[in-house]
Amino acid sequence: MTMTFTDRLLNWYHENKRELPFRSQKDPYKIWVSEIMAQQTQIATMIPYYNRWIEKYPDVQTLAQADIDEVLKMWEGLGYYRRARNLHKGAQYVVENFDGVIPRDKKLLMDIPGIGDYTSSAIASIAFSLPEVAIDGNVKRVMARYLNYTESVNTRACHKYFEEFLKEELLKNGADPSDFTQALMELGALVCTPSNTQCIGCPFKEMCACYRGECVGTIPYIPKAKPVPSYDKTVYIVTDKTRILISNDHSDGLMEGLFRLPQVEGHLDDKPNAKLVHKFSHLHWNIHAYIVDSLPETSDDWFWVPLQDLIDTHPMITAHKKILKKLDIL
């Protein structure tokens, strides 16, 4: 008897899945945290952050009661800080609207701040075994190759096409949605990667349209992103042994709530003490940093803090923290 798509997928998953801390149980809160952290971050990188987070905030109630500055400090280093803010807001929403119990319903999950279609599907399927399928970049790559989908995978039409196929496979085979969703994610993360065009270790092989057509390397089709603008920035580092001058200026609309070093537009003619190109999703900063005794200008947003506060309590933007570490100031 020929094995189905689902049979091959789940057999492979049960033999090859990684032991991850958020897979040891089906706690919807922990799955929610892990899914948010895993966005824009590799699993190996996020696991230490996840473990520290769960130790500090083991449940929704604890996170909801936490101070936002403390939450941002715990998130420091993961980047995309809006994720941390939304987790905090989401926890408060769950406490206020669902008595602290994460709902077993995809539509209600999507009412929670920071939870959209993908995350709600992940929580619903993985934590509650509801018949939903979470489709991330890894899953899109698997399905585009399996179905030889040659159009852009970054469209709603593509998402709907994959979702309909996968839900049909899930339901007709009576599979556990939790295992099914995680198996798809895992296959894309470990085997059906952008670089594995030889299909080594894939459970599908001859079932896959791209494998049969030898076009794995050209699919999925992802339109080239538009080039992002780069802005020259000058950062000033002013210290007096135990203190450092920092800023809470967020007039550029970036990373509100995080502290930064005094930063101004443009570059100076002098040779900088450090250089750094920091890449956001929509722009780049080309930073020149200078250690100075005094500043050529002042601002009401600049103030002194103990250096130790940058280690213990004050969440700082990643770019500037990297500079301080590079110069052995932190």
User: What residues are labeled active site?
Assistant: 35
Q: Distance between the two ends of the chain, CA-based, in angstroms?
A: 63
Alpha-carbon gap, residue 3 to 5, rounded angstroms:
7
- Residue 57 has a CB neighbour count (10 Å cut-off) of 22
> Is the CB of residue 57 less than 8 Å from the CB of residue 152?
no
CA 105 to chain centre: 23
d(CA 144, CA 55): 38
Phi then psi for residue 237, to 5 deg, are: -115, 110
Exposure string of 184-222, with b = 16+ CB inside 10 Å and e = fewer, is bbbbbbbbbeeeebebeebbbeeebbbbeeeebeebbee
> Among candidates 101, 192, 97, 209, which has minimal Cα distance to 142?
192
**How far apart, in whole angstroms, are the C-alpha atoms of residue 122 and residue 115?**
10
| Backbone angles phi and psi of 213, in degrees to 5 | -95, 0
Q: Which of 86, 21, 16 is nearest to 50 (CA)?
A: 21
